Chains A and B, each alone.
Chain A
């Protein structure tokens, strides 16, 4: 009897359309919740992936820096020099250098050296060198002489 009264009360007060609207609302809320959950879980997964990649990047960068340092330690100028000496190499002296004057090079230079012979410091006399030097500084009348003798 009581149940009936209550049930009858409900049927009297709640319409079908209201229930339908309520269900629709709940369904919408559930959908929104589902979408939010899906999005946030996707963001979480992506976040974790990004974090892992970042850690991997940091790790590789640190290992890379370590390798660069190790290479630098192995190739210091002093170690390279020691290795070169061990291979029988030795520093050259100016007198051991062979310089070639290339004719008409660079091409923009008007005055061209006629000689293509290699010359070493021992070949040159101090006095002639001095004259050339003074000519270069523009402090000697022999400048023209030098130019005349070097022109073809």
Chain B
């Protein structure tokens, strides 16, 4: 038996070797197939199963006033949900979560005992609550609970400076104002976390994390002063209430730089309630996006053009018969007055349409519209606000212009401007003829930059000569000071300005019922710090700018000089 076995052993071993080798070859081939041929596919499937990529949402940049009042901020709000099926000790969980979530224990227990796959316990709770729930979840290993955080745009001041700021909706899409115009700077860049997770989706730290951190959006500081903004908003609300106007707007600008110091629009709404249907249409910045016929405040432009071109002087006088015939139509003064012998100061004080028309005729169409364009009408100011309108200035030969337009345009009818264009042009007169680009962003601080990017005031062009600007300022100041009952007068300060009462065009005619009452002026007249434009649409208490807009200007100016610490003229000039 042993001899027989010995003789057969090599053969069996050889057979076993062959079998083993065959199996080995087959296994090797299979291994080659899985490891080499299917390598890419399988490794990808394994990676997909194990690895995860989580987006790290970038925090949208803050928006602040120049004095640091927070207008817009991104905060993370948490949503807490749970899968109630198979939940152990729901009574205990409800009792534990009730004080954290600030909800009644019974209400929570009812949610935990439902048959739903998932139930939301709390939505949009702040970080303090969300983090407390995460701690609780980790402490008791409550895997069926999910706590998700999402960045949400909140506006701590509600409707304060709303038209300037704009909104970001629930889908994180911006609209209006700075939010839309500076979206690229504000939104930042989302980051990413790459890692591995187990079957419970808990991260497994295999290696040093390959996180791409989120880059938060830039912080934007506005030129708006919160104190001035509050005054202006308050006074606009008062003016709307007193005059029973339909809407209105007020702008305060620094004429030397073009910085917008305050800007209020009525109606407006709480930025946190953009989803409310009642607030639809209340967020657009009407100061930059809505055009209107400015009326007599435009006579400042006509007078500036006449003086600068040398057509008129402060001593130019006219015989005003109360009407003038131009382009087949007759233009009359307001209330059909015929004042007789008047000089330039009287023209502006009495706001005479006939004499404004005469100045425009003397200038000629080409020169008149050259000045209109030089003052910036018919072109966007390039302020950092979404939805800016360019205005509408008819041009000779454009098919719409008629000869009568030269007359009507001279006193601000038949020409559409934005309130911002109007105040910027008057600011040019206040600023020795220099037209500055209006701007509302003081600085932008990117998240990774050490120094903020400051906005530099930008001279658009020299519109009129400095001497012309001084002369016109004197005339405007004289026109106001010479009228004792003028409601724009601010005791202690000499102001320069002009009222406007514009008719509103509707379907090719001018609405006989309603007007747009306005006043634009600046102070101190010799060295202006503020230009203020007040515009009230369809006031009911009086149709005249001198009655409803001028007092608002004075009320605001009185508060602004205190706010800015601007001494009365006699004190200020005495110290020079």
Contact = CB atoms under 8 A, between A and B. Distances in A.
Interface string A123-145: 11010111011101111000000
A140 to B, nearest CB: 9
Contacts of A111: 576
B491 A77 contact: no
B76 interface: yes
Contacts of A75: 69
Interface in A103-152: 105, 109, 111, 113, 115, 119-124, 126, 128-130, 132-134, 136-139, 150
Contacts of A24: none
B230 A99 contact: no
Interface string B76-90: 100000000000000
A99 B76 CA distance: 48
Contacts of B492: 94-95, 120-122, 124, 129
Contact of A94 (B73, B206, B525, B568): B568
Interface stretch (B92-100, B112-120, B207-215, B296-304): B207-215
Interface in B1-37: 6
- The listed residue with most B CB atoms (<10 A of its CB), out of A2, A81, A91, A128, is A91
A51 B211 CA distance: 9
A138 B69 CA distance: 41
Nearest to B469: A137
A92 B227 CA distance: 13
B75 interface: yes
Interface stretch (B153-161, B241-249, B420-428): B153-161
B78 to A, nearest CB: 9
Contacts of A54: 209, 211
A114 to B, nearest CB: 8
Contacts of B208: 43, 46-47, 50
A54 B207 CA distance: 15
Given A48-B205, A133-B477, A137-B473, A65 B559 contact: no
Contact of B567 (A76, A99, A130): A99
B570 interface: yes
Interface residues of B, number: 58
B131 A63 contact: yes
A32 interface: no
Nearest to A140: B474
A113 B574 contact: yes
Interface string A38-50: 0010011111101
A133 B568 contact: no
B70 interface: yes
B575 A101 contact: yes
B570 A123 contact: yes
Interface in B528-548: none
A62 B6 CA distance: 81
Given A65-B73, A99-B571, A94 B576 contact: no
Contact of A69 (B6, B70, B205, B525): B70
B156 A73 contact: yes
Contact of B568 (A48, A61, A92, A124): A124
Nearest to A52: B205
Contact of A51 (B209, B474, B575): B209
B327 interface: no
A107 B494 CA distance: 27
A72 B69 contact: yes
Nearest to B559: A91
Contact of A137 (B154, B203, B526, B571): B526
B226 A66 contact: no
Given A93-B562, A136-B527, A138-B470, A78 B230 contact: yes
A110 to B, nearest CB: 10
B370 interface: no
- The listed residue with most B CB atoms (<10 A of its CB), out of A46, A102, A136, is A136
Contacts of B56: 58
Given A62-B75, A65-B73, A94-B562, A72 B209 contact: no
B516 to A, nearest CB: 29
B571 A134 contact: no
A65 B227 CA distance: 24
Given A51-B203, A69-B75, A119-B568, A76 B157 contact: yes
A91 B209 contact: no
Q: Which 8 A-B pairs rank lowest in CB-CB distance, beginning with the nearest?
A: A121-B492, A48-B205, A72-B156, A72-B70, A136-B526, A124-B570, A99-B567, A101-B575
14 contacts: A44-B205, A50-B208, A65-B127, A69-B70, A77-B69, A77-B230, A93-B558, A101-B574, A113-B574, A121-B491, A129-B570, A133-B526, A136-B527, A137-B470
Interface of A: 2, 40, 43-48, 50-51, 54, 58-59, 61-63, 65-66, 68-69, 72-73, 75-78, 81, 91-95, 97, 99, 101-102, 105, 109, 111, 113, 115, 119-124, 126, 128-130, 132-134, 136-139, 150
Given A63-B127, A68-B70, A119-B571, 13 more contacts: A47-B208, A51-B203, A62-B131, A66-B128, A69-B70, A72-B70, A72-B73, A101-B575, A121-B492, A130-B481, A137-B473, A137-B474, A139-B470
